[in-house]
Amino acid sequence: MSPFNSIDELQDHFYNLLGDNLKILHVYERDREIHLSQIEINNKNRGYGSQVIDAIKAYADKVGKPITLAVQPDRGKKAALRRFYSKHDFKKPGRKRNYTLSGGHTHIYYPQQESVEHVLSKSIDEAFRKVGLFE
C-alpha cells in the first residue's frame, strides 16, 4: 500500500529523495486516471526510474485508478523504453476513446485490486486489534 496521500506528496518525496538524479517528474491525478506525463532520470540504470514507477503504481492501486502514459522515446530508445514499461506491467492497448493522449503510443497500468475477502479480513483483524483481542 502506498504511504502517499496524493500525487503531489509523491512527487515532492522523490524530488527530495533523488535530488539531481530526478530531472523531471510530471504526474497528474484526474477523476478517472493518473497520467504520467513525463519522467526523466539522470544517471540511468541505477533503479531510480523503477523506484518512481513502483511508487506511482502503489498509489494507483491504493486509489483504484489506472495510470496512462504516452511513450515518446528519444531516437533509438523505443525498444528499451517499451521493455521498461512492459516490465512494470504497463499494457499497450492502443488508443482508447476514453483517454485523450497526444503523440507517442498509449500504455496503461491497471490497478491491482485486492479481493473482497482480503480487504474484509484486514478490516476484521484491525477491529480486533483496536479492542485488544489481537496483539
Q: How far is CA 69 from the centre of its chain?
A: 10
- Give the tens place of pLDDT for each residue, 5-44: 999 999 999 999 999 999 999 999 999 999 999 999 998 8
CB-CB contact of 28 with 70 (8 Å): no
DSSP 8-state assignment for residue 132? T
At residue 52, the pLDDT reads 96
What does pTM read for this prediction? 0.74
Reported for 28-34, long-range contacts at CB under 8 A and 24+ positions apart, including other chains, are 29/63, 29/65, 32/65, 32/66, 32/98, 33/65, 33/66, 33/67, 33/68, 33/99, 34/7, 34/59, 34/60, 34/63, 34/65, 34/66, 34/67, 34/68
> In terms of pLDDT, which residue wins out, 92 or 101?
92
Domains located in the chain, CATH noted: 7-130 (3.40.630.30)
CA triple 110-111-117, angle to 5 deg: 130
